[in-house]
Structure 1
Amino acid sequence: MLLFFSGYGQSANATDQSLFHQFQELATTDEKMAFFFNEEDLYRENSTYDWLELITINLNAAIKNDDQDDIKRFQLMQARIFYDLGDYDKSLAITKELMEQIEDLDIYLSSKLLDLMDDNYGQLTMYPEQIDIREKKREMGIMESVAFYDIYSNLGMYRKAMDDYIANVKKNIEEDDFFGQADYYNHLGNFLRLDGSTPTALSYYKKAKGYIDVYLESVTRRKSEKMLADSDLLKGVIEGNIGKCHVDLKQYEEAIPFLESGIKKIKENSDRAYSSEITENSLAISECYLQLKNYEKATDYLSDNLQTSTTENLLKKNRLLSLYYELTQDYKNSSHYLRREIRIRDSISENESQLRQQQLSTVMMQNLKYSQDMVAEQKLALEKQRTENLEKDKRNSLVLISLLFTLLGFAGLVYAYLKSIKNQRLIAEQKYIIENSLVEKDSLLKEIHHRVKNNLQMVSSLLSLQTKNTRSKAAIEALEEGKSRVKAMALIHQKLYQNEDLSVIEMQSYIESLINSVQSVYKKGGHNINITVDAEGVELDIDRAIPFGLMLNELVSNSFKYAFPHGDENGKIYIHIRKTGEQEGYFEYADNGVGLPEDSEERANTSMGIRLMNRLANQLQTTLNIDRHAEDGVRYWFNFK
């Protein structure tokens, strides 16, 4: 098998013929298969349909000659072409038929078959089957360890996806591999942006851009045309992601140059595989121009030629068209696209939610099974080691018996040594039992937090329904405030069951998510406020995190509602938490708004928000301090235990 690879390389370098003709001139099917799967840019001169016709002719010839080995190889090539054409069902049908004969295939053919099945299942969102294929690769020795970060990400488990990605990828990237570092930090940024941590994601994207710029500017390493094209493509993807972060942060003018540059680089250096990225960036630019009131530019990016291959892109396109017609006072068309978006969303939401729940349940069960299998393998290895140790002990015992009468003193030392080993094994077994028990309790505790979060979300939904059936403005505001407080508590439990450590909450991430949640309630305010959160590295237990969350919910809500009545263009909010000791800490909240009214002390006795914050401060065993005479805005602070 190794000989024909060398021959193929010489043949390819010795001729200037097209890849299509080079393939036809190869003598054996093994050579053709190696050429087909290893040659880059196979469809450069001839289309996928030309290749499909050629492979089908070869397959029919193999069937006519009843050459089973050739039939399998040409079937696999045919399946790959169907995949490249986007006909994943047909490709999967062929690979499933080959899968039934995998025991008869050599390792190279098996590897290509399993890779193609993995790709097909991923495109068809059949994640449990995709996990089975990866486990099969590990069993056959094709891959050493199994990673699931792409599957976790597709199921919305972005933090778990990031942890799995870091564990499986970071160790394989060299410090001076600037391209690999750029791709790595771009992936981390994707997970964080999808998880709602946009400011942190933006910092990772900027780091990725720095690495790819260094790689492109470096003259110490020679780079082929394909390497340069791949680098420009990655830079375009990263710039597009930076632009989308600026859009999420309502920084529309800063976003446009990054998005336009990203689209240009992706178009210049990729095929249709990145059409979804182009669509996302185009929709983001359209949103920027709509918000900046440049409707002509917005419609340039909302044309009918814009391909929306994903449901999310289609929904966003309809939403933006509805917004465009609303802003241009064409309410009939605005209503049309709004109803269209609602119909699409309603038609997929229930089925997609149920399917996503089933897939998530199956994936987690299979992931648990995979973990259990790994533990079982380790247990077998330990048992084998234990048996070998017992055999060794027996041999040592025979030696000791033969020397018993002459080495009694030494025998006592050996006995003590063996006793120590036995005690250590007993301790190790007990530790293993305790660790398993702790894992089980952690899982139960996560499930409890998950259910509490779901129940709180249900309460929030009930409050929303009540709001729609209420006409009193005061009642609606009260219900919205209640819903905001419920969301703050639900977010605590969501962060807990997503954490590996169930005892504490990482406050930086929690506060960023809380601010996004409050902004979603006050849709017409707070989007231009510059919010600085300084809580990196601070972790609080649930007993302190819940009062903190409710108090921050009140403070941020008050700033959005009252602090900037004349516009929030220059609005600033500063949130600071730090640890001053092992168990003590300091909290400060300030904004540069209009400050508190002169009768704020009298209002404090009747304001539910102020009374609630004072009670929450009591829960933290402290007193809420308010600087009512601040030169600019208002400031709250306290020390806590």
Structure 2
Amino acid sequence: MGRYVRLIFTTISFVFLYTASAQVTTDDDRSVLKEFQDASAPSGRFNVFFNSINRYNLNSAYDWLDTIKIYLANAEKTNDSLASKMYRIMEAQVYNDLGEYDKSTALAKEMYLSNDSLDFESKKILLEMLDDNYANLQLFDKQIEIRKRKRELGLTDNVAFYDIYSNLGLYTEARNKYIMDVKPTIADNDSYGLAKYHSKVGNYLRLDNSAPTALSELKKAKAYLDVYLNDISTQKSEADIFESDLLKAEIEGNIGKCNVQLGDYEEAIPLLLNSIEVLKTSPRNSDQSEVVDNTLFLADANLKLERFAEAKKNLDAEFDHVTVLQTIKRNSLLAAYYDRIENYRNAAIYYKRNERINDSMSQKEAALIKQQLVTVVGNEEMQNSLRIINEQKQINAQARSEMKAKEEQINLVIISLIFTLLGFAGLVYAYMKSIKNQRLIAEQKHIIENALIEKDSLLKEIHHRVKNNLQMVSSLLSLQTKNTRSKAAIEALEEGKSRVKAMALIHQKLYQNDDLSVIEMQGYIESLINSVQSVYKKGGHNISITIDAEGTELDIDRAIPFGLILNELVSNSFKYAFPENDENGKIYIHLSKNGDQGYFEYSDNGVGLPEDTEERSHSSMGIRLINRLVNQLQSKLNIDKQNEGVRFWFNFS
């Protein structure tokens, strides 16, 4: 009875899924699952499932699993063995896509061993599936057995080992094997094949901690891919374009990772973001693993740039499958994040988690790698090597005969070239004499350009050192704060530290800019707000802050006073404007400059200024400092007391 109830419930769910998918589908973005359901026969559904570009474009893998199980139950009920076989293969593939490799392996192995009537395409699909499952389960000996069967069926010429070496962390060996196995098979005019080749070599170099060399290979890969995409003479199907987009996203993601390793964080972030967005559309597990890696590198870049909110958002992202190594890196980044925001208790928790994981891995890793290495470098690799050597001997023999024939032609060409060169020698001499003056001018221009570059480098170094010195002052103030018990003294030290950070941030922005004469104020104000929030970390996080300074640039003589003025105003808002609750707190900052005229405005909706503000202004260091800074800008501070909050404003030139 219970069985029939479950069957009825499953059927109702199937009808609901069918109806819902029909309602949301449009002609431009048709659900592959709906197309699968509309197919008239099991073979048609089988083709839709395996030939679709992205079967999960609108429906999740769990939706597919439920639907396939319904068709499988109906096929088994009618004793349709051929249909049952097809649906079981599809079920195994969905489990593989979900990362449930044990279930996928059990189903695929059962299908492969128990069905002698499998057609060639079904055998190919099952063997590819088992190959991927065993790789993810790190059962490399079984993976090699599967690859032997693929070779027996003619699906591959050799049993490849480079990806197995890579999974074992032996990236140098993986790169060497990949170059030896794959490079000879790629034609010189195969732009797409060369793009994939250089992408793989570049990634192995990156994993082997050779980021500069890896970056060169990855840029080659991107150049070849651009040639392929821009080649209008080659017809490209929708599937070809989809695969090209995924490859481009993979290359950009790896370039972004190299930039993070080299410290070029600003260049890395847009590449990583774009790569993540595209790779999310891929049904392949390897691409989803790349999404996790790219997200962790993105968090690392944001952390280095002190964009703590963005870094925490990256680290809190949820993924279906995360490897042990990815978990270790994520824990390390979370520990670093909590260290930076001075939450040492949480930082210690994540450090301890990694210690436990490393202890567990160290007990198993040595035995596992030794066992896998024995398998990898066994008889099969020797057979592959002998086969490659024999093939190379035949190629060399043919090449020698061709070279002998070409050698005679080359000799004739060389003789012709000698006479041609003698004729050109006189022309070259005259030409060299005519461009001598131009060369002297070019050399002088080069000297001047080098002097300008050296000047810019020295200016950047000066700003960098000033920033470092100011950070050292800030650190000394922090140390003094920890050794001081007086609340008033601590507050004074924190205020001093905040002011020092405001000035340090100016110099940091300057040496990071290509233009050393001005600072882009929108980004500076955002960084300054984050810095002030980190000082007053118990308050101010629920306040809505609006910054309107887009496109405004100031020189250092104006930027430093503005930074200190803003530091004082924001600090006062965090400390005094919202004494009870900052849930509805709002701060508005406006800065604009049109030609020689500028305007600044700051307001909040807090409790406002006290009645004796003018009397306090003579004793308050903050107000006195703001007035002096405004005078330095050759202006006068205006204060408007409102029903809710306060407004400061002034014009400047």
Structure 1: unaligned runs, 5 residues or longer: 1-11, 24-34, 63-69, 166-183, 191-207, 217-224, 277-306, 324-333, 347-387, 398-417
Partner of 1:350: none
CA distance in 2, matches of 1:226, 1:492: 46
The amino acid that maps onto 1:152 is N
Partner of 1:160: 267
1:93 aligns to 2:106 (yes or no):
no
What RMSD over aligned residues (CA atoms) do the two structures have, in Å?
5.6
1:462 aligns to 2:542 (yes or no):
no
Question: Residue 588 of structure 1: which of 597, 601, 609 is its match?
Answer: 601
Partner of 1:617: 630
User: Which runs of structure 2 are paired with 1:410-489 in the superposition (5 Å)?
Assistant: 430-489=444-503
Larger radius of gyration: 2
1:312 aligns to 2:332 (yes or no):
yes
> What TM-score does the superposition give when structure 2 sets the normalisation length?
0.52
Q: CA deviation at 1:94?
A: 4.0
Partner of 1:494: 508
CA distance in 1, matches of 2:146, 2:287: 34
CA distance in 1, matches of 2:215, 2:507: 29
Q: Secondary structure at the match of 1:310?
A: helix
CA distance in 1, matches of 2:425, 2:606: 73
> What TM-score does the superposition give when structure 1 sets the normalisation length?
0.53
The amino acid that maps onto 2:173 is A
Identity of aligned residues (%): 48
Cα deviations across residues 564-623 of structure 1 (Å, max 9, x unaligned)? 1111111110000011x3122100011111111111111111111111112211221212
User: Which runs of structure 2 are paired with 1:44-443 in the superposition (5 Å)?
Assistant: 47=135, 53=142, 55=144, 77-83=160-166, 85=167, 87-88=168-169, 90-96=170-176, 114-123=198-207, 125-131=209-215, 133-134=217-218, 148-162=255-269, 165=271, 186-187=273-274, 226=283, 263=318, 267=320, 272=322, 307-312=327-332, 315=335, 339-341=348-350, 391=427, 394=430, 430-443=444-457
Specify whether residues 459 and 396 from structure 1 end up closer, same or farther in structure 2 by C-alpha distance, changes over 3 A only: closer
Partner of 2:529: 515
The amino acid that maps onto 2:601 is E
Specify whether residues 502 and 390 from structure 1 end up closer, same or farther in structure 2 by C-alpha distance, changes over 3 A only: farther
Specify whether residues 142 and 338 from structure 1 end up closer, same or farther in structure 2 by C-alpha distance, changes over 3 A only: closer
Retained in 2: the 8 A contact 1:52–1:81? no
Q: CA deviation at 1:626?
A: 1.6
Specify whether residues 530 and 103 from structure 1 end up closer, same or farther in structure 2 by C-alpha distance, changes over 3 A only: closer
The amino acid that maps onto 1:311 is N
Q: CA deviation at 1:394?
A: 4.6
1:633 aligns to 2:645 (yes or no):
yes
Partner of 1:533: 547
Structure 2: unaligned runs, 5 residues or longer: 1-49, 52-85, 94-107, 113-123, 228-247, 356-423
CA distance in 1, matches of 2:645, 2:256: 45
1:600 aligns to 2:613 (yes or no):
yes
The amino acid that maps onto 1:586 is Y
Q: Secondary structure at the match of 1:515?
A: helix
Retained in 2: the 8 A contact 1:496–1:502? yes
The amino acid that maps onto 1:506 is E
Cα deviations across residues 259-281 of structure 1 (Å, max 9, x unaligned)? 99x74xx53xxx657995xxxxx
The amino acid that maps onto 1:95 is R
The amino acid that maps onto 2:507 is H
Retained in 1: the 8 A contact 2:315–2:330? no
Cα deviations across residues 45-77 of structure 1 (Å, max 9, x unaligned)? 665556654547979xx9xxxxxxx9xx958x3
Q: CA deviation at 1:543?
A: 1.3
The amino acid that maps onto 2:163 is R
Q: CA deviation at 1:152?
A: 2.1
Q: Secondary structure at the match of 2:648?
A: strand
Q: CA deviation at 1:456?
A: 1.1
Q: CA deviation at 1:516?
A: 0.5
The amino acid that maps onto 1:448 is I
CA distance in 2, matches of 1:430, 1:52: 65
Q: CA deviation at 1:452?
A: 1.4
The amino acid that maps onto 1:632 is E
1:577 aligns to 2:597 (yes or no):
no
Q: CA deviation at 1:230?
A: 8.3
Specify whether residues 523 and 57 from structure 1 end up closer, same or farther in structure 2 by C-alpha distance, changes over 3 A only: closer
Q: Secondary structure at the match of 1:593?
A: coil
Q: CA deviation at 1:439?
A: 2.1
The amino acid that maps onto 1:450 is H
Retained in 2: the 8 A contact 1:308–1:314? no
CA distance in 2, matches of 1:100, 1:526: 59
